[in-house]
C-alpha cells in the first residue's frame, strides 16, 4: 500500500518527569525508572496529501513503565477541536505511523505503545518562545504544562544549554529547559520540575528534514 505524502513544519514541545537532559536522548534509563510526559506541536505549515493542516495543534500524553525502547506504553492523542473531519483523519494518518518509514518518530511510537486510549478533541492553547526557552500548553481539565529557563542555583540567572542530535528522529537540535506538568485527563501525573525540550522541526514520511 502506497504511503500518502505529508509534511509537518512547526513548533515542538517535549516535557517529561526526568531530570534536565532527558536520558532517552542519551539511550539511558529514565531518571525515576518510568517515563511520563507530554509532546505537543503547533503546525505552522503542513499537509497530508491534499489536506492542509496549517495552524492546528496536537498533543499526546504518555506513560511508559520503563525506557521507551522497552515499550508497553499508554498514549492518548489530543487533537485541536478546530480540525475538520478531513483534517482529523489526516492527523491520524500521520500519528498512526502507517505513512512513515521504519525508524521515524511516528512509526516508532506505533511499535512501543500497546494501549491507545480514545482520542479527544478539545481547544488547545499553545504558546512558544524558543529563544526565551518558554512555552505553554493549556487544555483545561486535561493537561497544563509550562516551560521556563533552567536557573543557576546560586545566582538565579537563566542557564542555557542545547541538545544537538545530527541523526535524531525527533529533532536535530533543541533548547533544554525546566518543565512542570499537571496531567489530569485519563493519564494522570504531576511533575513539579522536570525536563523540557523546545525545538522547531520539519517532519516527513522519511523522518526529520530540519
pLDDT by residue for the chain (210 residues), tens only, comes to 468 999 999 999 999 999 999 999 998 999 999 999 999 999 999 999 999 999 999 999 999 999 999 999 999 999 999 999 999 999 999 999 999 999 999 999 999 999 999 999 999 999 999 999 999 999 999 999 999 999 999 999 999 999 999 999 999 999 999 999 999 999 999 999 999 999 999 999 999 997
Of the candidates 177, 192, 181, 178, the residue with the CA atom closest to the CA atom of residue 145: 181
The SS3 of residue 91 is helix
d(CA 29, CA 45): 34
Residue 41: domain span: 6-208
| Cα gap 73→68, rounded to integer Å | 8
What is the pTM assigned to this prediction? 0.95
Sequence-separated (6 or more) residues with CB below 8 Å from residue 27:
none
Q: Tell me, yes or no, whether 37 lies in a domain.
A: yes
In a domain, 1, yes or no: no
Count of the separate structural domains present in the chain:
1
Backbone angles phi, psi at 89, to 5 degrees: -65, -40
Amino acid at each position: 500500500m502506497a504511503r500518502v505524502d505529508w509534511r509537518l513544519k512547526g513548533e515542538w514541545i517535549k516535557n517529561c518527569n526526568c531530570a534536565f537532559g532527558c536520558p532517552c536522548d542519551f539511550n539511558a534509563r529514565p531518571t525515576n525508572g518510568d517515563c511520563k510526559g507530554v509532546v505537543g506541536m503547533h503546525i505552522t505549515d503542513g499537509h497530508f496529501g491534499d489536506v492542509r493542516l496549517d495552524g492546528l495543534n496536537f498533543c499526546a500524553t504518555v506513560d511508559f513503565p520503563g525506557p521507551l525502547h522497552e515499550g508497553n506504553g499508554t498514549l492518548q492523542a489530543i487533537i485541536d477541536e478546530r480540525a475538520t473531519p478531513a483534517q482529523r483523519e489526516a492527523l491520524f494518518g500521520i500519528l498512526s505511523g502507517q505513512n512513515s518509514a521504519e525508524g521515524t518518530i511516528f512509526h516508532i511510537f506505533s511499535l512501543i505503545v500497546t494501549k491507545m486510549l480514545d482520542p479527544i478533541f478539545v481547544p488547545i492553547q499553545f504558546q512558544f518562545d524558543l529563544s526565551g526557552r518558554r512555552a505553554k500548553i493549556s487544555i483545561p481539565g486535561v493537561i497544563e504544562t509550562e516551560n521556563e529557563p533552567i536557573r543557576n542555583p546560586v545566582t538565579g540567572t537563566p542557564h542555557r544549554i542545547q541538545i544537538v542530535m545530527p541523526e535524531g528522529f525527533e529533532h536535530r537540535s533543541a533548547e533544554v529547559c525546566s518543565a512542570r506538568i499537571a496531567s489530569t485527563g485519563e493519564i494522570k501525573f504531576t511533575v513539579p520540575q522536570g525536563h523540557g525540550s523546545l525545538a522547531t522541526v520539519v517532519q516527513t514520511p522519511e523522518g526529520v528534514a530540519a
